[in-house]
Amino acid sequence: MSNSGVSGSPQQQSSEQHYHVDQLNDRGPDVYRREFVKGFVDKWDELIDWPARAQSEGQFFIDLLRTSNKKTVLDVATGTGFHSVSLSTAGFHVTSLDGSAAMLAKAFDNGTKQGLILNTVHADWRRLNQAIRGKFDAIVCLGNSFTHLHCEQDRRKVLAEFYAALRHDGILIVDHRNYDEMLDHGFTTKHKYYYCGKRVTAEPEYLDESLARFKYTFAEGLHYTLNMFPLRKDYLRQLLCEAGFEGLRTYGDFQEAYDEHESDFFVHVAEKSPVPNGHAVTDHLDGTWSRPSGSESQVLNGR
Ligand SMILES: C[S@@+](CC[C@H](N)C(=O)[O-])C[C@H]1O[C@@H](n2cnc3c(N)ncnc32)[C@H](O)[C@@H]1O
């Protein structure tokens, strides 16, 4: 099967997903685009159920961004627009980016229905900084999206892209399912956060340390799948630190004090500090900065 292009390809307009013959090993950089086809995208809001999700998340992300005085937000996993819409409505200046043309088109429509014109950018995270202009106070990568990167090199590359797209004191907020619990003790879910739709089931069809393939079954029997990488919490924390982020805080189901086993989702908040590791930094005229050579890598701090 040929790759989908970055612009909306006929494959993405299709109601059927396009996997390679060996579906479990289809983990290439473009697989998410062949998975988020129009047919699935049209069902996505049934899966996440905006009103129920809004109720379960409450003001969590808005409060986080407001208390740290952030104003410009890059939503890198816009999907159908849930966070782009809620953050725009709350007064943030949001740029809505996604690599799936079908998702972005749906987000734009959803924004219009709420009286908003979303500022959309169609780009893959791996080439993020070629597609955007300027730096952001915050980047949000929400809804278990980072899990769509199947190889470590891409995860590191994408974190470096996110880092570079932030202002010197920017923050990255990234979340994921509690894969640790799933891998170590089997799958259960309270179905309370994120995927709140009552008429949809979301369950792993295959699970090992390198693949979580989820099946989403809708009321009328339609089903779609997603091949994802099961991110362990401490592994992602480590990657964030190694990418240069610090001041890392992790929340379980939106709580600072949480039970590792009971939490369905983790949210990490990572800071791009102007003074990493206490070393002085050099600010450049173009808004970028650099550390002196020989600075040590970050050390994990806190939980
Ligand atoms: C699971 S959906 C979540 C959407 C939304 N944040 C939500 O919570 O409903 C993941 C989104 O991330 C996007 N995505 C995944 N990998 C990407 C990449 N490498 N570059 C750009 N977008 C990507 C997908 O197209 C999809 O819209």
Domains and CATH numbers, the chain: 46-196+232-290 (3.40.50.150)
The closest-lying atom of ligand 1 relative to the alpha carbon of residue 81 is 5
Q: What is the pLDDT of residues 24-70, one digit of tens each?
A: 999 999 999 999 999 999 999 988 889 999 999 999 999 999 999 99
Whether the pLDDT of residue 152 is over 90: the answer is yes
Q: What is the pLDDT of residues 188-245, one digit of tens each?
A: 876 555 665 667 888 999 999 999 999 999 888 899 999 999 999 999 999 999 999 9
d(CA 237, CA 217): 32
Whether the pLDDT of residue 162 is over 80: the answer is yes
Q: Whose CA is nearest to atom 25 of ligand 1?
A: 100
Amino acid identity for residue 201 in this structure: T
* Residue with the two structure tokens 């393939």: 213
DSSP character string of 132-176 = --S-EEEEEE-SS-GGG--SHHHHHHHHHHHHHHEEEEEEEEEEE
Q: What share of the chain is helix, strand, coil (3-state, %, to 5)?
A: 35, 25, 40
Torsions phi, psi of 188, nearest 5? Answer: -145, 160
* Residue with the two structure tokens 């399912």: 177
- Would you state the pLDDT for residue 42? 94
Q: Report the separation in Å between the CA atom of 182 and the middle of ligand 1, taken as the mean of its atom positions.
A: 21
* Residue with the two structure tokens 């086993």: 261
Percent of the chain with pLDDT over 90: 75
Q: Rg for the chain (alpha carbons), in Å?
A: 19
Which residues line the pocket of ligand 1, CB cutoff 6 A? 32, 36, 48, 77, 79-80, 82, 98-100, 103, 124-125, 142-145, 148
d(CA 109, CA 93): 18
Q: Report the separation in Å between the CA atom of 79 and the middle of ligand 1, taken as the mean of its atom positions.
A: 5
The closest-lying atom of ligand 1 relative to the alpha carbon of residue 77 is 12
Q: Whose CA is nearest to atom 10 of ligand 1?
A: 145
The closest-lying atom of ligand 1 relative to the alpha carbon of residue 145 is 10
Q: What is the pTM of this model?
A: 0.88
State the helix-helix crossing angle for 50-57 and 82-89, rounded to 10 degrees. Answer: 60
d(CA 56, CA 276): 35
d(CA 151, CA 217): 27
Amino acid identity for residue 16 in this structure: E
d(CA 49, CA 287): 39
* CB-based burial label for 246 (10 Å; 0-12, 13-18, 19+): middle
Mean pLDDT score, 257-282: 78
Q: Whose CA is nearest to atom 7 of ligand 1?
A: 143
Q: Which residues contact 19 (CB under 8 A, 6 or more apart)?
A: 1, 26, 31, 34, 35, 225
Mean pLDDT score, 149-173: 98
Asked whether the CA dihedral 40, 45, 47, 48 is positive or negative, the reply is positive
Mean predicted lDDT score pLDDT of the chain: 87
Q: Whose CA is nearest to atom 16 of ligand 1?
A: 148
State the helix-helix crossing angle for 82-89 and 101-113, rounded to 10 degrees. Answer: 40
Q: With cut-offs at 50, 70 and 90, classify the pLDDT of residue 280.
A: very low
Q: Report the separation in Å between the CA atom of 175 and the middle of ligand 1, taken as the mean of its atom positions.
A: 12
Q: Whose CA is nearest to atom 23 of ligand 1?
A: 99
The closest-lying atom of ligand 1 relative to the alpha carbon of residue 158 is 19
User: 136-141 and 211-217: which strand pairing?
Assistant: unpaired
Q: Which of 50, 145, 224 has most ligand 1 atoms within 8 Å of CB, for mutation? A: 145
